[in-house]
Amino acid sequence: MTKPYEPLRIEGLDIEPTVCARCGFCTFVCPAYLDTLWDSQSPRGKLYQLRDLIKKKQPIPPDFAARIFNCTLCGACQEICQTNIPLLRFWQLTRQEIGELDEWPEIVNYIDGALKETQNIMEMDQTDRTLWTDMVDDLVEDRLGIEAEVAYFAGCNISFKGTLAHMGENTIKVMNAAGVDFTILGEEEQCCGNPYFVAGGFEKAKELARHNIIKLKELGVKTVIFNCPGCHRAFAHEYPHLIGKESTEGLEFLPFSEFVLRLLNEGKIKFTKNYPHVVAWHDPCELGRHQDIYNPAREVLNAIPGIEVRELKHNRNKARCCGGGGLLKGTDPLMSVRISGRRIEEAEKTGAEFLASECPSCTMSLNDGIEHKESKMKFKDLSQIVVEALGL
């Protein structure tokens, strides 16, 4: 028996698409719309259809459910919304409703099963979670599960995708060079729960959230460092909402760029090597629009001697998505790579030597875009640049 659609709620406040002014500003910043040019795929189009479902008291049909997941959750629609609809949370809650109707896409159900069985999105054994440390084993062998005020949280992508292991390795090298006393959770680290948050499966993420916070506090951790903006957002913004603000009291959560900037300001590291390269900077959606963090990476890059940082046409809160967010890479990989390709085309116009960012998902997606467009553009994540500029 299907469940009738009811207005979605957030923190006791009704969120109804009836307040949409149908101005269309969101349409032309939406990656999914720009890929299909179908108004039914635009935020405005989806809000209009939801309003009709609410009015007729009808459930969400499967074809419409699929369109809700053909979205990167980049937040560009919310940024430009003239009636201030909190669209990011709205799309998450709509996905929650879809899950309650058992209409999640197959890939989302697979991720759900993997997280239940293995506590990671790759469905791999937790004993493999430290494989990424192989190249820096001498720097971490005495750091597993020790008490320390600083912890590094690698996340599922860096832990299990070999092509991303360098991000964790580079972070450890920087910590070591700065003399930071740190710990890593190793096998005790579980998925941050962000896949559940973007799928609308909030309740399913509670056990993961509680586990991670408990393990960090058991080790006396005060500051947690992340390469992944999705992990950072989960800890900093979703956990307090999900398991209570008191659960994260006494803990500080820093993205890699903020951590490096702090080390620079404290004089624990210093860039002395000339780095004569031209870099274009891509703002990750989950760090930028989702959390309003734009400056630290730019400050770090501009502290490097010889570097020239160029802005893409669409930057900061107007930055275009890499195509990898919102589970789109799983629900519609072809749309995802086409969106990535358009971002690469924009990067090429800067004339930069390489495009840079600080996000595992952006790293994968933008490299896919480079391959898709057969572009000569190169990509480096911020951790690579920092390590190269420090000569580590």
Cβ atoms 77, 30 nearer than 8 A:
yes
Inform me whether the pLDDT recorded for 141 exceeds 70.
yes
CB atoms within 10 A of CB 127: 9
User: What was the pLDDT predicted at 14?
Assistant: 58
User: What was the pLDDT predicted at 253?
Assistant: 98
Inform me whether the pLDDT recorded for 358 exceeds 50.
yes
The CATH code for residues 112-263 is: 3.40.50.1860
User: What was the pLDDT predicted at 3?
Assistant: 43
- 8-103 against 112-263: fold identical: no
Q: Which residues contact 146 (CB under 8 A, 6 or more apart)?
A: 183, 219
User: What was the pLDDT predicted at 7?
Assistant: 47
Beta strands at 13-15 and 150-153: parallel, antiparallel or unpaired: unpaired
**Per this entry, what is the length of the chain?**
392
Structure-block tokens of residue 300: 């770090």
Distance CA 269, CA 41 (A): 47
User: What was the pLDDT predicted at 17?
Assistant: 58
User: What was the pLDDT predicted at 339?
Assistant: 98
DSSP string for 60-88: PPHHHHHHHHS-----HHHHH-TT---HH
Name the E strands within the chain. 8-10, 13-15, 150-153, 182-184, 223-226, 252-255, 278-281, 308-311, 354-357, 378-381
- Picking from 10-24, 210-224, 225-239, 374-388, which range would have the lowest pLDDT averaged per residue? 10-24
In the structure, what pLDDT confidence band is assigned to residue 59 with cuts at 50, 70 and 90?
confident
> How much is the average pLDDT of 173-199?
98
Distance CA 267, CA 38 (A): 52
User: What was the pLDDT predicted at 57?
Assistant: 81
User: What was the pLDDT predicted at 51?
Assistant: 83
Helices 256-265 and 295-302: crossing angle in degrees, nearest 10, is 50
> How much is the average pLDDT of 8-24?
65
3-class DSSP assignment, residue 325: coil
Give the torsion sign (CA, 171, 174, 179, 180): negative
CB atoms within 10 A of CB 266: 9
Mean residue pLDDT of the chain comes to 94
Distance CA 372, CA 381 (A): 19
Beta strands at 13-15 and 8-10: parallel, antiparallel or unpaired: antiparallel
Inform me whether the pLDDT recorded for 1 exceeds 80.
no
In the structure, what pLDDT confidence band is assigned to residue 18 with cuts at 50, 70 and 90?
low
In the chain, what percentage of residues exceed pLDDT 90? 88
* 246-290: pLDDT as tens digits: 999 999 999 999 999 999 999 999 999 999 999 999 999 999 999
Structure-block tokens of residue 283: 């703002």
Pick the CATH number of 8-103 from 1.10.1060.10, 3.40.605.10, 3.40.80.10, 3.40.50.720: 1.10.1060.10
User: What was the pLDDT predicted at 5?
Assistant: 43
Structure-block tokens of residue 145: 């599960």
* 218-254: pLDDT as tens digits: 999 999 999 999 999 999 999 999 999 999 999 999 9
User: What was the pLDDT predicted at 239?
Assistant: 97
3-class DSSP assignment, residue 280: strand
Structure-block tokens of residue 172: 């450890």
Beta strands at 150-153 and 182-184: parallel, antiparallel or unpaired: parallel
* 100-126: pLDDT as tens digits: 989 999 999 999 999 999 999 999 999
Distance CA 166, CA 320 (A): 25
Structure-block tokens of residue 392: 């580590």
Inform me whether the pLDDT recorded for 9 exceeds 70.
no
Pick the CATH number of 271-390 from 3.40.50.11810, 2.60.40.4070, 3.30.1490.20, 3.30.420.10: 3.40.50.11810
Inform me whether the pLDDT recorded for 10 exceeds 80.
no
Show me where the domains of the chain are located.
8-103, 112-263, 271-390
In the structure, what pLDDT confidence band is assigned to residue 60 with cuts at 50, 70 and 90?
confident
Inform me whether the pLDDT recorded for 13 exceeds 70.
no
Distance CA 260, CA 158 (A): 19
Q: What is the pTM of this model?
A: 0.95
In the structure, what pLDDT confidence band is assigned to residue 4 with cuts at 50, 70 and 90?
very low
* 299-353: pLDDT as tens digits: 999 999 999 999 999 999 999 999 999 999 999 999 999 999 999 999 999 999 9
Helix ranges, 81-164 (H): 87-100, 106-118, 137-140, 156-160
